[in-house]
Structure 1
């Protein structure tokens, strides 16, 4: 999943790089549009979008942003995946990030590419594994209650997560930060490649693998095992 997100992020960067791309400047006049949607379990967002996700029956997607750039936003819901992104082939100088308000009864996967933000607006509860990923400098935040939780960062992204899960898998490639002291876990696996930081709470086991100068800080009294290549460290926070 993270490889796909990296590809998306690189593609977004390439759009800005090539001078042949059309330049679209936001008007600064913010408008709101509504779209009817059906239920989805996967949410993928690429670009400058701030997403407010609420766990509730799906039905409406609300988007706010520059009026002259609305036509370049592509929204699709196919096979249970809701995708929100900017049309390819343009360089968008927006007044501020688009704001998306959306809901679904359940969510299994959440992917963010670019500099946007995703926030759980209410306490998310599920009986399945929740997979999330950030590629770029975006952020994901909120409170969850799921049996298993995966969080991946490629770049300088940030997580601020609270709640509880039995098993957590955290992966950071780059300089990202996972702030999860308020996420109560039983077993946690933390992998860092680079200078990232992972803060977790575990009650039973913690496995940390570090390549680089990254640091893992933990709370609780888990059985700790680690493998460190570089100047990274694992210690109680």
Structure 2
């Protein structure tokens, strides 16, 4: 009987050890008391793609540059690379890492760009272009809970929100195409456009401004609010949502 008990005990220990090995272990990266700044020598990009919890400040000028400001024990994990004309910003080996230094200690990236045709954000970060962006054609995209905000002077604007994030823009655009899927928001009543097409699917909201034409569609419980002098207005609804003048 003692031999049988010993065998059962050994088997149990083996199973427990195997289970321990199979369980993923999260590595905690705690907040560092010191911050570091790095100038990344990158050129040749006309679009920016951000993945993660960064604060990214984009300015437009005659030069291209990328600067990273982050806790010293994290900055080496922040990847900034250019592929196919796109500046990609993300965390290296993000899986299994517990970012635990708190929301007040941020990873900040400053980007200077000559020409821009797209800005995309995936995750919970924020992208700002307070001094404005000027372009012939510009695509803005948010996937997740992040926010994009700033001033624009563009001919053709395409904006999409998927998730709970927000896009807030002002300035002017000749044409604007807006898509909101989920619970996010597009806030563009301060963006003066000539023609606007806007689609909301889910519980999100969109606020737009057009001088001539608005094409609006709501599926779900979301709302579209419009302002401006547009008299050519077409709308469709499926669900409890609404299309109304502000």
Instruction: Provide the TM-score with structure 1 as the length reference.
Output: 0.88
Q: How many residues align?
A: 219
Aligned residue among 118, 122, 134 for 1:125: 134
Q: Gaps spanning 5+ residues in structure 1: where?
A: 1-17
Whether the aligned pair in 2 keeps the contact of 1:24 and 1:90 (CA below 8 Å) is no
The separation in 1 between residues aligned to 2:177 and 2:96, in whole angstroms, is 36
Q: How does 1:140-219 map to 2 (within 5 A)?
A: 140-219=148-227
Q: 1:84 aligns with which of 80, 89, 113?
A: 89
> Matched residues in 2 for 1:137 and 1:185: separation?
26
Residues 60-99 of structure 1 mapped to structure 2, 5 A cutoff: 60-88=65-93, 89-91=95-97, 92-95=99-102, 96-99=105-108
SS at match of 1:71: helix
- The unaligned stretches of length 5 or more in structure 2 are 1-22
Secondary structure in structure 2 of the residue aligned to 1:121? strand
Distance 1:105 1:94 in 2: 34
Q: Distance in 1 between matches of 2:206 and 2:157?
A: 14
Higher relative contact order (CA 8 A, sep 6+): 1
Structure showing greater Rg: 2
Task: State the distance in 2 between where 1:39 and 1:103 align.
Answer: 11
Does the residue aligned with 1:123 lie in a helix, a strand or coil?
A: strand
The alignment's TM-score, normalised by the length of structure 2, stands at 0.85
Aligned counterpart for 1:43 among listed residues 43, 48, 61: 48
